Amino acid sequence: MKNVIFLLMAALCFATVSSADEIHLATTCNANADFSHCSFIRDRPVLDVNFGQFEFKVQDLPTGPVIIDYYSETSFQYTYTNGGGDVLLLDSSSNVVAEGAFLPGVIEAYPHSGESLQGSIHFSYLNADSLGIGTGIIQGGGSFVYLHDVNLWPATNFYDLIIDGNSPPAPTPESGTLLLTLVGVGIFGLVKVLR
């Protein structure tokens, strides 16, 4: 009986601290030497980035309205108040391994030294087996950052994509974890009293 209770308590503790794996993809592109293979936002409906064995496509940005954070003759930045858009991750055979949309709060900027885009993504479809973050078809979260900086020599584009097999965080995940821990401690205490 002691072994069964010990195993249950160990499983309960493990469940409160375990998390799914994530995949982190990053690359750069020399905008001067390889302009045709670098992807830019301005004047293009699609952002297309090659991460080696994966290809990431931003096919649409979220729809407006936008909040103008600042604006001048040489630079501006705005925030999308709605989520949306369309993002895909394809494998080397052009099979879709992830599909999702941006969450509200995407920031697009055009400083005098380049352009940038950053935002969180909700993936409604993740092929966890193909991505190496679990098994089956799951949902999850992630983020994407793009930066084109002409102040660096040579002018360089940076692309960074993180895909997390965990579902996007709930507004108050701590209370569920705390409740689960308290239930485990209560069961442990009850077993000690009953012995």
Report how far apart the first and last C-alpha atoms of the chain are (Å, whole number). Answer: 11
Helix (H) or strand (E) holding 37: none
What's the chain's average pLDDT?
78
List pLDDT tens digits, range 79-91.
999 888 899 999 9
Task: Kindly state the average pLDDT of the residues 115-138.
Answer: 92
pLDDT, position 59: 84
Three-state DSSP class for 131?
helix
Distance from chain centroid for Cα 41: 19
Find the angle CA(177)-CA(161)-CA(163) to the nearest 5 degrees.
Answer: 35
Global pTM reads: 0.71
Cα 68 from chain centroid (whole Å): 24
Among all chains, which residue has been given the structure tokens 């954070």? 69
Say how far residue 180 (Cα) sits from the centre of its chain.
27
Name the β-bridge partners of 127.
137
Q: Is the pLDDT of residue 42 over 80?
A: no
50: DSSP letter: E
Average pLDDT (169-176) is: 47
Percent of the residues in the chain that have a pLDDT greater than 70, as a whole number: 71
Structure tokens at 61: 């940005």
Report the alpha-carbon distance of residue 170 to residue 40 in Å, rounded.
33
Rounded to whole angstroms, the Cα distance separating 91 from 4 reads: 44
The average pLDDT across 163-184 equals 59
Measured distance CA(122)–CA(47) in Å, rounded: 18
- Residue 32 has a pLDDT of 75
pLDDT at 19: 45
Residue 25 has pLDDT above 60, yes or no: yes
Q: How confident is the model at residue 148 (pLDDT cuts 50, 70, 90)?
A: confident
Q: Which pLDDT band holds residue 35 (cuts at 50, 70, 90)?
A: low
